[in-house]
Structure 1
Amino acid sequence: MEFDADTAVRSAAQDAAGLIAAMPRLVLEARKIAASVYHGLHGRRRAGTGENFWQYRRFMDGEPSSRVDWRRSARDDHLYVREREWEAAHTVWIWPDLSASMVFASPLVWETKRDRALVVAFALAELLVKGGERVGIPGVMRPSASRRIVEKMAESLVHSNALPDSLPPAFAPSPLAELVLLGDFWSPTAEVVASLAGLAASGAHGHVVQVCDPAEETFPFSGRVEFREPESGTLLTIGRAETVRAEYVERVAAHRATLRHEAERRTWSFLVHRTDRPASELLLALHARMSNGDAALPSGHADDAGAAA
């Protein structure tokens, strides 16, 4: 069974109305979370052409001698270069998935996946702009360093004419850009992989965050259960849901393993965040990876932010 056109329109209108009603609360929550983690965080510092001192490093063969800091080098037997902080703002594209599958919250949590993705997107943007970055939303908002970045993002999303899709829009980010993708990524594995490949083709770095409800991982269902696919409206009835739990968990693990592999081989990072965990955990994990310039982590590294052990 699938939705007819009228039902699809009504459903989209209800989702849009819900998003508009939730925005003031989400903006306030994002600001609160950003403020709570801002103190103690360092800027996204890296070597480059800025004016502020960052660190000393050893002089390397082939470099011009004019780069040597002779005062520091006089202290011991090595030559040192005085590195300066990278200050040229570059763009971070943040994409929150607003599709129908994200408007879900099981009885195990109080917040939908959509609301969690938006709160983290807004809070991360707040921290990045404070650090001198520009933030944009692919297909929705041009990069901006506005001090009102959270309100600007919220307004752009509310007034966007683009229909919410389960995957980020295809575009060619600058090789120096960075992408943060926040969604459930339950689309067919091949479609997600193709989307990531297209976005990474320019050489931009990225971070894929799979936001999921705990029920989507543990499948805590038993007895006769009717499931509805939120994108198409397709219904599936299972007489004894507990009998498919093992197969379901196995397929989720295989899907996630493929996405992690595809992200890491492009030097992107992959994180899993459950909505029964604090949003601040994900925000800190993302900021740490971006601040350190980390993308793919070594095999076996714990790369789940707020996922169950």
Structure 2
Amino acid sequence: MAADNGHTAKERVAIRRADGESRTLAASLPRLVLEARRIAANVIHGLHGRRRAGSGESFWQYRRFVSGEPSQNVDWRRSARDEHLYVREHEWEAAHTVWIWPDRSPSMAFASKQARESKLERTLIVAFALAELLVTGGERVGIPGLMAPTASRSVIDKMAQAMLHDDADRLSLPPSFIPSALAETVVLSDFWSPIAEIRTMLGGLSGSGAHGTLVQIVDPAEETFPYSGRVEFVEPEGFGMITAGRAESWVQDYTARLALHRDQIRAETNKLDWLFTTHATDRSAAELLLFLHAGMQVSKSGARTTTIKAGPAA
């Protein structure tokens, strides 16, 4: 019984430490907000907007008249200045909704010496910066179960405040909800949940036909398993502890299980035409942000499709 009590005590200490790190992060939110805005500004500077033709009142551009179009589409004033016929196009103004869900569960507080920051910090920075990019491009951004979609230019502040005042349990996967068919969902998590839970989550999010992207945020140590000797591994969300007598002997099994888990997630996302990619916290946050932004493209019908073929990290 003494050993059991010792294990229980260690689990409690580990959970408290992880929870404390998560709560302490609230004091770092202003820094994360500034970092997110800096990254978003750099990305915006090098990207074209997501404007496109469609119904609306804002003038976008003139284009050549195409044979077979209704003659009333011709802008005769502009055409009178040239030998060609032109059509006046307006900018599409139907706001698109992108749901961004950052995993803030205790496991995300982990950071090894190889990492630039914790998984939680990286997740928040990317979530904030992506929201800034999308709102600047005329989209609406929401957080499932926490913040209604908004196109406010102060979207980062709204997201940060919503998180700071959130008293709900920190879940590893998004709450159950059904986005509209034309919405997109971006889930940022370490995705160490059982594949059955991930499959259920995907089934709910894609039930309406909506598209999305799963981004697995991992620490470099979770990629390479650089441990040796006697090591105690504690699950920070209360699911137990495992002691390895010779941790280096676990590397092969660990990497095989990791590859299998990712293959299973990828198989589920492929069925739904969703994306799955991984990102390690020793890589650049801007790299991931560019990757996500580039994947949000518009089909001829106006619906979003994702066309990324490879992730920014192994």
For 1:177 and 1:55, the matched residues in 2 are separated by: 29
For 1:291 and 1:132, the matched residues in 2 are separated by: 14
2:34 to 28, 33, 51: 28
Which runs of no fewer than 5 residues in structure 2 stay unpaired? 1-6, 299-303
- Residue matched to 1:295: 306
TM-score when normalising by structure 1? 0.86
* 1:1-309 alignment runs, 5 A limit: 1-2=7-8, 10=16, 14-50=20-56, 51-53=58-60, 84-291=90-297, 293-295=304-306, 297=308, 301=309, 303-305=310-312, 307-308=313-314
CA contact (8 A) 1:43 1:291 kept: no
For 1:142 and 1:225, the matched residues in 2 are separated by: 44
For 1:5 and 1:249, the matched residues in 2 are separated by: 25
SS in 2 for 1:48: coil
CA contact (8 A) 1:265 1:296 kept: no
Change in 2 beyond 3 A, CA 1:197/1:56:
farther
SS in 2 for 1:265: helix
Task: Report the Cα offset of residue 10 of structure 1.
Answer: 4.6
Task: Report the Cα offset of residue 131 of structure 1.
Answer: 1.1
For 1:256 and 1:246, the matched residues in 2 are separated by: 16
For 1:55 and 1:155, the matched residues in 2 are separated by: 42
Moved more, 97-106 or 259-268: 259-268
Q: Which has the larger radius of gyration?
A: 2
CA contact (8 A) 2:295 2:307 kept: no
For 1:65 and 1:242, the matched residues in 2 are separated by: 74
Residues matched between the structures, number: 299
For 1:232 and 1:205, the matched residues in 2 are separated by: 33
Question: Which digits, 9 at most, give the CA deviation of each residue in 1:49-87, with x for residues without a partner?
Answer: 2344468699698x767568896xx989xx998765422
SS in 1 for 2:104: coil
For 1:256 and 1:60, the matched residues in 2 are separated by: 50
For 1:80 and 1:58, the matched residues in 2 are separated by: 5
Q: Which amino acid aligns with 1:295?
A: T
SS in 1 for 2:296: helix
Change in 2 beyond 3 A, CA 1:186/1:29:
same
SS in 1 for 2:295: helix
CA contact (8 A) 1:264 1:296 kept: no
Q: Which amino acid aligns with 1:207?
A: T
Task: Report the Cα offset of residue 169 of structure 1.
Answer: 0.7
Task: Report the Cα offset of residue 38 of structure 1.
Answer: 1.3
CA contact (8 A) 2:18 2:110 kept: no
Identity among equivalent pairs (%):
56
Q: Which amino acid aligns with 1:304?
A: G
CA contact (8 A) 1:206 1:268 kept: yes
For 1:177 and 1:152, the matched residues in 2 are separated by: 20
Change in 2 beyond 3 A, CA 1:225/1:120:
same
SS in 2 for 1:22: helix
Task: Report the Cα offset of residue 200 of structure 1.
Answer: 0.7
Change in 2 beyond 3 A, CA 1:60/1:272:
farther
SS in 1 for 2:277: strand
For 2:254 and 2:106, the matched residues in 1 are separated by: 21
For 2:307 and 2:43, the matched residues in 1 are separated by: 24
Q: Which amino acid aligns with 2:290?
A: L
Which runs of no fewer than 5 residues in structure 1 stay unpaired? none
CA contact (8 A) 2:22 2:109 kept: no
For 1:223 and 1:65, the matched residues in 2 are separated by: 79
For 2:49 and 2:75, the matched residues in 1 are separated by: 25
